């Protein structure tokens, strides 16, 4: 793989645009001053792969619903009804998500690792920061697979038109005063500013928007409110599984809100079934030996190296790489031990000359729309770095 060193963006500049999580706890920069160099064919391959994967997820999602496989996916029981309600009504539009992939830049085939369908991270980095790095270094700003900002703006319009034709929004719907309330937790500057970036994009798309921390939002059977103002749409950067596990009363109220058509929530509750890493087992059952998939099971794989991880684990926690002979290659601890374990065939990420591993992240907003990379060890964790890219 090829890397190109560039001048980094100054911390002062990053902070001026709201990107305040630029330095990790060890005082190293979170944003790499290198770019992964890819060619046009590699960019197109990522685009095609992710579009095909999303179609497969949609088919497999219907299979989960039809066969009541929520327990197999480790879905909290109190979210099953709201998942079904959101799945069955087209108004619950999937706003954005991110596929994590191995391969693609090393001459090896692209393989799905997992799908961050509900609350994907690295939105700000992918949409804004890696583009700004090209501009800062006087490189061609169009030489990236990165249409995320505009793709999100268009997809906000589609939540009204429910149609690929966004011109209908401009012609019929743009002046009707649609309101979206955006919410995050108050303790994470990354969550707050990522949510406010999405709010800014929605405002540019033509919506009336507001922001409120989740703890101050009011919920009732009549809808979702801020200071007694009713909102038709609510975006929350809070994982659905956290709502189901930690906020059971809220889960019940949101189910009633969806059932009674009092508000529409983004991302929809059905994205939780995609978010579950156990979904990869369903995909493998439905598409065995598909070239984009890795064998995945609810039991340890026999005779081959595999990764054990938790259905709703995050940032590489509670992950174990196990060799074909059963010995442990490497493992991490964490707070997700109580979630269901799944076992996925091991594939090595692309690696640079210093031994760092690279995982591709491709965002999806109606279609595949942007690429970025994370760099770290065999198990990527919250100390991994964001690496932009350039097409040459």
The per-residue pLDDT for 173 is 61
Give the pair of three-digit tokens for residue 206. Answer: 């033509």
Q: Do 149 and 332 touch, CB atoms closer than 8 A? A: no
- 326 with 211, same domain: the answer is no
Give the pair of three-digit tokens for residue 73. Answer: 């996916």
Q: Is 308 contained in some domain? A: yes
- 358 with 310, same domain: the answer is no
Q: Residue 155: enclosing H or E segment and its boundaries?
A: helix 148-161
- 141 with 37, same domain: the answer is yes
How far is 180 from 96, CA to CA, in rounded Å?
16
- 168 with 304, same domain: the answer is no
Question: What sign for the dihedral angle of Cα 28, 33, 38, 44?
Answer: positive
**Sole residue written with tokens 């801020």:** 226
**How many structural domains comprise the chain?**
2
- 266 with 300, same domain: the answer is no
The per-residue pLDDT for 169 is 66
- 246 with 318, same domain: the answer is no
- 317 with 172, same domain: the answer is no
pTM for the complete prediction?
0.96
The per-residue pLDDT for 3 is 97
How far is 13 from 347, CA to CA, in rounded Å?
38
**Sole residue written with tokens 């994370």:** 374
Q: Of the candidates 311, 328, 345, which is a domain's last residue? A: 345
Q: What is the phi/psi pair of residue 77, to 5°?
A: -60, -30
- 329 with 377, same domain: the answer is no
Q: Is 290 contained in some domain? A: no
Q: Which residues of the chain fall below pLDDT 50?
A: none
pLDDT digits (tens, 9 = 90+) for 303-337: 999 999 999 998 889 999 999 999 999 999 989 99
- 341 with 221, same domain: the answer is no
- 232 with 308, same domain: the answer is no
| Coil vs helix vs strand at 212 | coil
Q: Is 139 contained in some domain? A: yes
Rg (the chain; Cα; Å): 21
- 61 with 142, same domain: the answer is yes
Give the pair of three-digit tokens for residue 338. Answer: 């109580």
Q: Is 125 contained in some domain? A: yes
How far is 261 from 255, CA to CA, in rounded Å?
10
| Coil vs helix vs strand at 99 | strand
The per-residue pLDDT for 311 is 95
Q: Residue 114: enclosing H or E segment and its boundaries?
A: strand 111-116
Q: Say which residues have a Cβ less than 8 Å from residue 328's Cβ, sequence separation at least 6.
A: 320, 321, 322
What is the b/e burial string over 361-385, where b = at least 16 CB atoms within 10 angstroms of the residue's CB? bbbbbbebbbbbbbbbebbbeeebb
- 38 with 167, same domain: the answer is yes
> What is the 8-class DSSP label of residue 382?
T
């Amino acid at each position: 793989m090829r890397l190109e060193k560039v001048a980094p963006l100054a911390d002062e500049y990053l902070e001026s645009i709201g990107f305040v999580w630029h330095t990790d706890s060890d005082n190293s920069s979170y944003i790499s001053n290198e770019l992964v160099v890819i060619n046009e064919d590699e960019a197109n391959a990522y685009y095609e792969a992710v579009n095909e994967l999303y179609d497969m997820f949609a088919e497999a999602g219907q299979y989960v619903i039809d066969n009541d496989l929520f327990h197999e996916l480790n879905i909290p029981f109190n979210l099953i009804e709201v998942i079904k309600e959101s799945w069955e009504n087209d108004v619950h539009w999937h706003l954005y998500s991110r596929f994590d992939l191995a391969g693609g830049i090393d001459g090896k085939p692209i393989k799905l690792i997992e799908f961050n369908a509900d609350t994907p991270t690295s939105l700000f980095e992918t949409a804004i920061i890696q583009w700004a790095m090209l501009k800062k270094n006087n490189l061609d700003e169009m030489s990236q697979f990165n249409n995320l900002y505009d793709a999100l703006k268009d997809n906000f319009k589609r939540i009204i038109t429910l149609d690929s034709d966004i011109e209908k929004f401009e012609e019929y719907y743009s002046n009707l005063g649609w309101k979206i309330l955006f919410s995050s937790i108050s303790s994470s500057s990354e969550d707050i500013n990522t949510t406010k970036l999405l709010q800014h994009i929605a405002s540019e798309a033509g919506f009336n928007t507001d922001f409120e921390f989740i703890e101050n939002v009011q919920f009732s059977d009549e809808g979702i409110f801020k200071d007694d103002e009713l909102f038709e749409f609510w975006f929350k950067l809070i994982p659905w599984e956290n709502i189901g596990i930690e906020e059971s009363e809220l889960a019940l109220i949101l189910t009633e809100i969806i059932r009674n058509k009092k508000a529409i929530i983004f991302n929809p509750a059905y994205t939780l079934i995609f978010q579950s890493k156990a979904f990869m087992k369903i995909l493998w059952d439905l598409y065995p030996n598909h070239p984009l998939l890795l064998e995945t099971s609810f039991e340890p794989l026999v005779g081959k190296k595999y990764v054990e991880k938790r259905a709703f684990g995050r940032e590489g926690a509670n992950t174990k790489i196990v060799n074909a002979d059963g010995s442990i290659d490497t493992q991490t601890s964490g707070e997700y031990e109580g979630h269901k374990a799944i076992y996925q065939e091991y594939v090595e990420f692309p690696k640079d000359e210093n031994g760092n591993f690279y995982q591709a992240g491709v965002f999806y907003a109606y279609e595949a729309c942007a690429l970025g990379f994370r760099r770290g060890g065999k198990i990527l964790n919250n100390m991994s770095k964001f690496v932009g890219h350039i097409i040459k």
